[in-house]
C-alpha cells in the first residue's frame, strides 16, 4: 500500500506489533555486535518528535545523543526525508493496522465488535496516543504529512464503518456511528483526558449504548474487562 508516496507494509501479526519500538528500547546491542542499528535512530527520532516536534529531529543533535558521528546516520537513511518516511510508515503500521484488524474480527454481537476496537485505546502496544498526536501536529505544518494523516483517518473510519454494516446498519448510519466512535476517541487523546482504567470501564456500558444503540450484556464486555484488569 502507498500513501502519499510512502510504501506501507501490512501490520505485523499479534505479538510482533511493536517490532521497531521494542527492538529500539533494547539499546545499541540489537544487532549482536554492540553497534547502533537503524532502530536506535528511529526510536530516538520518534521520541524527539513526540517531545518537541519534527523541527527538533536533527541529524547532528541525534548523533551527539547517540554518541556517534553524523556520518553514521547515512549508513541507514538516504536523507532526513527518508527517516521521516520511515517514521510515517511505522506509525501507519502501528496505529492504523491494529484498528483495521480488530474492526475486521468476527464477533457475535455489535457490542463485542466495538469492544474489539476498544482494545486499541487501552493498550499502547496496539496504539500509541502520543505518537499519533505528534504526527497530527506535524501534519498541521506540512501538507505532505497532512495528506498521509487524512488517508490514515479515512482508512480507520472506513474499517469501522464496514464493521457496523456487518451488523445490519445502513451505510450512512454505519458511517456516522463510525465517525462518532473514532473521532470521540481521537478527541479524548487530543485533550489528554486522564482517567484510570477503572474509571474508563465504569463508562463502558454507556459508551456502547451510545455508539451502537444496543444494550450490552455482561458477556459483551467481559473480554475487554479482563484486558483492563491485566494491564
pLDDT of 31 strictly over 70: no
Q: How far apart are the first and last CA of the chain?
A: 32
**Of 91, 119, 106, nearest in space to 14 by CA:** 119
**What is the pTM (predicted TM-score) of this model?**
0.83
Percentage of the chain with pLDDT > 90? 76
Does 3.20.20.150 match the CATH number of domain 2-230?
A: no
* pLDDT tens digit sequence for 140-197: 999 999 999 999 999 999 999 999 999 999 999 999 999 999 999 999 999 999 888 8
Average of pLDDT values for 81-103? Answer: 97
Domain boundaries, the chain: 2-230
The 10s digit of each residue's pLDDT in 4-21 is 455 444 444 433 333 334
Q: Note the pLDDT of residue 230.
A: 63
Amino acid at each position: 500500500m502507498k500513501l502519499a508516496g510512502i510504501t506501507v507494509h501490512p501490520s505485523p501479526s499479534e505479538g510482533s506489533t511493536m517490532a521497531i519500538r521494542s527492538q529500539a528500547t533494547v539499546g545499541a546491542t540489537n544487532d549482536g555486535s554492540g553497534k547502533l542499528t537503524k532502530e536506535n535512530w528511529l526510536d530516538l527520532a520518534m521520541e524527539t518528535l513526540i517531545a518537541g516536534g519534527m523541527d527538533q529531529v536533527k541529524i547532528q543533535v541525534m548523533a551527539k545523543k547517540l554518541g556517534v558521528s553524523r556520518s553514521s546516520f547515512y549508513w541507514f537513511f538516504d536523507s532526513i526525508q527518508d527517516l521521516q518516511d520511515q517514521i510515517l510508515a511505522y506509525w501507519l503500521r502501528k496505529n492504523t493496522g491494529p484498528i483495521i484488524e480488530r474492526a475486521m474480527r468476527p464477533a457475535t454481537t455489535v457490542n463485542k465488535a466495538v469492544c474489539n476496537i476498544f482494545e486499541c485505546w487501552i493498550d499502547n502496544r496496539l496504539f500509541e496516543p502520543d505518537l499519533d498526536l505528534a504526527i497530527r501536529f506535524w501534519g498541521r505544518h506540512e501538507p505532505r504529512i497532512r495528506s498521509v494523516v487524512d488517508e490514515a483517518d479515512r482508512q480507520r473510519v472506513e474499517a469501522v464503518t464496514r464493521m457496523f454494516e456487518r451488523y445490519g446498519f445502513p451505510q450512512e448510519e454505519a458511517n456516522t456511528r463510525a465517525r462518532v466512535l473514532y473521532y470521540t476517541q481521537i478527541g479524548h487523546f487530543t485533550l489528554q483526558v486522564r482517567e484510570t482504567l477503572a474509571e474508563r470501564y465504569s463508562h463502558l456500558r454507556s459508551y456502547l449504548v451510545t455508539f451502537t444503540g444496543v444494550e450490552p450484556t455482561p458477556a459483551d464486555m467481559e473480554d475487554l474487562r479482563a484486558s483492563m484488569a491485566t494491564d
